[in-house]
Amino acid sequence: MPREFSLLDALIPSMFLVFLASILLQTVLDRIMGRCGVYRYVWHPPLFRVSVFFCIFGICGLLMLR
């Protein structure tokens, strides 16, 4: 996987795309977990949410860069 790609001759880090995709994934997951009531068992939902996001982003990023 290349580190950067060229969009109309502007170099964009591919991590950025991964970041956007992670946001999308996190939003979907958040909706599902909210619907199922997972957050009722979580001490600090926002922290949990951000942590989930970091996990998703971290995993995807590492997989991409491997």
23, 28, 55, 62: residue in contact with other proteins (rule CB under 8 A): 23
**Radius of gyration of the chain from its Cα atoms, rounded to whole angstroms:** 15
CB of 27 to other proteins, least distance (A): 7
Phi, psi of 12 (to 5 degrees): -120, 130
40, 41, 43, 66: residue in contact with other proteins (rule CB under 8 A): 40
Residues whose CB falls within 8 Å of the CB of residue 45, separated by 6 or more in sequence, listed in order: 39
Q: How far apart are CA 29 and CA 5, in angstroms?
A: 28
Number of residues that bind other proteins (CB under 8 A): 19
Q: By CB under 8 A, name the binding residues for other proteins.
A: 10, 23, 26-27, 30-31, 33-35, 37, 39-40, 44-47, 49-50, 53
